[in-house]
Amino acid sequence: MTIPNILTISRILLTPLLMWFLVHRKLNQALLVFFVAGMTDGLDGLIARLFHQQSRFGAILDPLADKLLLVSSFLILWHLGLIPTWLVIVAVARDAVIVLGTTALFVFQFQVEIQPTVLGKLTTLMQLLTVLLALSSQLISIGGWTKTLVFAITGIFSVATGVQYVRKGISMAKSQVPQRSSKPWI
């Protein structure tokens, strides 16, 4: 177990605590937990690269931890009226398509290399900023146009990367023959 993987697992473990704070409308505490979880996201990748601790397990676990944290945050913040419905639909649909597409490639035994794109990293950053903006609404007053701009950029990036990852998955599937193994996939 590498330090980056431990940090990723800690982000997964912080998610239920974040959800509890959100459900109970304790936005300041949720903001602190989200900030710590966000820091683990940045640190795990940095440490993995600097100390050559990248692993296949980490390459799969890290984006799943991000999706768990962000999708659950988006859904609860929407329920609290802090993120618009359209943005939640776009962000959650994007992640659902990515997860379902990746799962389908695995199930049909294609060789899948999970590599985030620059646009994908920017989308995650924008989604993190969106959650931070919503969580900090009790601490600072943010103009409506600022929220609208951040939400719009997050939505545009989410759609763009959704399309990008679908095209990448189709290209992956077209470029190879499924790997056949004697082991069943289940």
- What pLDDT is attached to residue 39? 92
- What pLDDT is attached to residue 1? 86
Write out pLDDT tens, residues 95-142: 999 999 988 988 888 888 778 899 999 999 999 999 999 999 888 888
Q: Which among 65, 74, 71, 90 has a CA at the least distance from the CA of 11? A: 65
The answer to whether residue 9 scores a pLDDT higher than 70 is yes
- What pLDDT is attached to residue 175? 87
Contacts of range 38-45, beta carbons closer than 8 Å, 24 or more positions apart: 38/128, 38/132, 40/7, 40/8, 40/10, 40/11, 40/14, 41/11, 41/65, 41/66, 41/69, 41/124, 41/128, 43/4, 43/7, 44/3, 44/4, 44/5, 44/7, 44/8, 44/11, 45/4
Domains of the chain: 3-174 (1.20.120.1760)
- What pLDDT is attached to residue 178? 61
Query: Which has more confidence, 106 or 185?
Result: 106
Quickly state the pLDDT bin for 160 (edges 50, 70, 90).
very high
The answer to whether residue 184 scores a pLDDT higher than 70 is no
Write out pLDDT tens, residues 167-181: 999 988 888 876 655
The answer to whether residue 8 scores a pLDDT higher than 90 is yes
- What pLDDT is attached to residue 56? 84
- What pLDDT is attached to residue 82? 94
Q: What percentage of the chain has pLDDT greater than the value 90?
A: 69
Write out pLDDT tens, residues 13-52: 999 999 999 999 999 999 999 999 999 988 998 999 899 9
